[in-house]
Amino acid sequence: MAAVKPILYSAWISSCSFRVRIALNLKGVDYEYRAVTRTDPDYEKINPIKYVPAFVDGDFVVSDSLAIILYLEDKYPQHPLLPQDLKKKAINLQIANIVCSSIQPLQCYAVIGLVDGKLSSNESLQIVRHYIDKGFRAIEKLLEGCDSKYATGDEIQLADVFLAPQIHAGMTRFQIDMSNYPLLERFYKAYMEISAVQDAVPEKQPDAPSPWI
Amino acid sequence: MAEVEATATAGRPRLYSYWRSSCSHRARIALNLKGVDYEYKAVNLLKGEQSDPEFLKLNPMKFVPALVDDDAVIGDSYAIALYLEDKYPDPPLLPQDPKKKALNHQIANIVSSGIQPLHNLSVLRFIEQKVGAGESVSWTQQQIERGFTAIENLIQQKGCGGKYATGDEIQLADVFLAPQIYAAIERTKIDMSNYPTLARLHALYMAHPAFQAALPAKQPDAPSCT
């Protein structure tokens, strides 16, 4: 019986979905892309909290980008994203969590607040930039003196998978001044040279708006 | 990497914690479940001690908890929990089965990315400023209700049927759920009858010694009631 391709429920602009797309590409996993919008009525059955991404592997459904990526780490051990060394592993998890707990949820709150009319565009941008800058300053400090190609070594690891989409969003959507974060700026340039990351960028996804509209 | 001037006493890990911080609460539970003897170092968030230069070197995000273990310095409760999982494998907090493991991570992340960050101290101060004094309690309750509805549905959907959140053994999901449920009950007017599974789990956690010892009121920096 032919194996069914796993399915990724994703939205083009979602930085959480972007993380999982990078991980899938790095591990060489062939998957089916299913675009989801915020108002999709059926999506709640896939993910009760209604966030993207969600990953469907046969009859198994998992959502939340970190949970999905750690599942991929078990199922597809090629291109491991977590080092064996406990300290290096911990710093990867710490950086991933700074992004997924301390930056992105507040960014998401501010963006939705703007869309729903609860925040003005100035307020929304101010909130996003406050949390991105705080997180980026902390990560830059944590990695002070780093001379490896990527955040924790010469291979892309979990921290990088979380950083790439956050830096991309910061630069393309929220006017973050990356000259304040020389390490992150350097990593980002290195990330964008890899096809696994390039193919995962929002603008290249099937549900991204057409450039000529 | 930040240098740590004073290493923890005689091989014991040191946990920087605030009695009322639900993220610190998670780390305390994990340490207790693993039977790790640790040194407790209080960081008073209300007095701004998280901004002290010594603490900033440990965690530039200015968050508790932070764990110092020999030369490892870890400033995030999720990273701490998984570090302890590797270093002290017994009893395990994550099942071998990748799907059950993923469910644990999903529940832990709903708490650590979907609920708690939206009602931590710095966000609440912003809400009080922006929306008005006294609004932070109802804001907190809204964030929690949204997340609890999702977790309740998820646990029922997955039909684990065990004693704890994902099975008959205490696992990572429980470590993250216990502090969140405790904070919800203690700080808001949440109606836990809307979340029967979580209410049942709360009663179990409150009866378990490792969880009891981790409760905010039991910490050295908890204010004593007179």
What are the structure tokens assigned to A212, written together?
């000529």
Of A67, A74, A137, which is closest to B109 when you measure between CB atoms? A67
Here the contacts of B152-158 (C-beta below 8 Å, separation 24 or greater) are B152/B194, B152/B195, B152/B196, B152/B197, B152/B198, B153/A48, B154/A48, B154/A49, B154/B103, B154/B106, B154/B107, B154/B110, B155/B107, B155/B197, B156/B197, B157/A48, B158/B103
SS3 content of chain B, % helix, strand, coil (to 5): 55, 5, 40
Interval A180-192: pLDDT, tens = 999 999 999 999 9
Nearest residue on chain B to A143, alpha-carbon basis: B1
CA–CA dist A93, A210 (Å, integer)? 35
Give φ, ψ of B35 to 5 degrees: 70, 30
Q: What percent of chain A has pLDDT over 90?
A: 80
What are the structure tokens assigned to A15, written together?
């930085």
pLDDT at B2: 39
Model pTM above 0.80: yes
Whether the CB of B124 is below 8 Å from some CB of chain A: the reply is: no
ipTM of the prediction:
0.95
Q: How many CA atoms lie within 13 A of B144 on its CB side?
A: 27
pLDDT at A213 over 70: no
Q: Given an 8 Å threshold on Cβ–Cβ distance, is A66 in contact with B109?
A: yes
Enumerate domains of chain B plus CATH numbers: 14-90 (3.40.30.10), 98-208 (1.20.1050.10)
Give the residue among B205, B225, B224, B222 at the shortest CA–CA distance from B32: B205
Nearest residue on chain B to A55, alpha-carbon basis: B102
pLDDT at B1: 37
Whether the CB of A148 is below 8 Å from some CB of chain B: the reply is: no
pLDDT at B226: 47
pLDDT tens for chain B, 226 residues long, are 334 444 445 689 999 999 999 999 999 999 999 999 999 999 999 999 999 999 999 999 999 999 999 999 999 999 999 999 999 999 999 999 999 999 999 999 999 999 999 988 888 887 777 767 777 888 889 889 999 999 999 999 887 779 999 999 999 999 999 999 999 999 999 999 999 999 999 999 999 999 999 999 999 999 986 4
CA–CA dist A61, B69 (Å, integer)? 36
What are the structure tokens assigned to A186, written together?
């350097």
Question: Strands, DSSP E only, in chain A?
Answer: 7-10, 32-35, 54-57, 60-63
Q: State the DSSP code for A56.
A: E
Give φ, ψ of A19 to 5 degrees: -55, -50
Interval A117-142: pLDDT, tens = 888 898 889 889 999 999 999 999 99
What are the structure tokens assigned to B157, written together?
């959907």
Enumerate domains of chain A plus CATH numbers: 9-79 (3.40.30.10), 86-198 (1.20.1050.10)
